[in-house]
Amino acid sequence: MKFPQDSQTPSAAVPVSASGALVAASRRPFVPRLPSTWPAVDPTPDASFADILERLFFEGMLAELNNVCDDIRASNAMGLQGRGHVVGVAMMSILDSVSQFAYPTEPQSVRIPHYVRDYFVAEYHPIAQDLSDRFRNGLIHEWFMREVAFLPGNEPLVMQSNGSPIVGLLTFRNALSESINRFLVGLRAEAALRSVAAVRYSFLQQHVRD
């Protein structure tokens, strides 16, 4: 979807990220939603490439997710209860998208578990494949999940008696945000990882049209 205002003005910089870390304003304004507005990057980018991706992830993805969650909780006395399914879909889409910057050549069934084990806190490592096969595929492809479940708040990750995980939407949102911070740390430190992420970045610039 193209937003009419995007062709005239760049997005305002978000002063504080979802994690609480300061997000520096870009010297080259761009609109995170539209790949055609993104700055060009070298195939072997330097550490400043992570600043661009930080804007994409926190402004273009997590800030909007947080706004939706905040709006729902402000207007609905039951919080995300009865509203959380679409939040879960959005989070799985973010997880899928970010994982493609880390492992652009791997299929989704491999890419998401790989990303979870590398960048999520250890608590989520045992359910890495579930997040791909049952959470992501169930929500994105079928709208329904089998046995696994999201709960509407800050409930901790627990395993049911049948071995299937359940976790609060807001708990998972925080874990997802933390994983992105860890990925950005890796990007700033590792030239090889930046080159891999640049492959996905360039693909989107070339193939995703306004």
- Unique residue bearing structure tokens 């049209």: 209
Question: Is 21 within a domain?
Answer: no
Residue 13: predicted pLDDT: 39
What is the 8-class DSSP label of residue 78?
Answer: T
Q: Name the residue among 98, 92, 117, 107 with its Cα closest to residue 60.
A: 98
User: pTM of the predicted model, to two decimals?
Assistant: 0.84
Question: Is 111 within a domain?
Answer: yes
Range of the domain at 95: 45-207
What tens digit of pLDDT does each residue of 91-131 get? 999 999 999 999 999 999 999 999 999 999 999 999 999 99
DSSP reduced 3-state for 101: helix
Q: Name the residue among 42, 15, 14, 62 with its Cα closest to residue 181.
A: 62
Residue 55 CA to residue 63 CA, distance in Å, equals 10
What tens digit of pLDDT does each residue of 154-165 get? 999 999 999 999
Domain tally for the chain?
1
Question: Is 193 within a domain?
Answer: yes
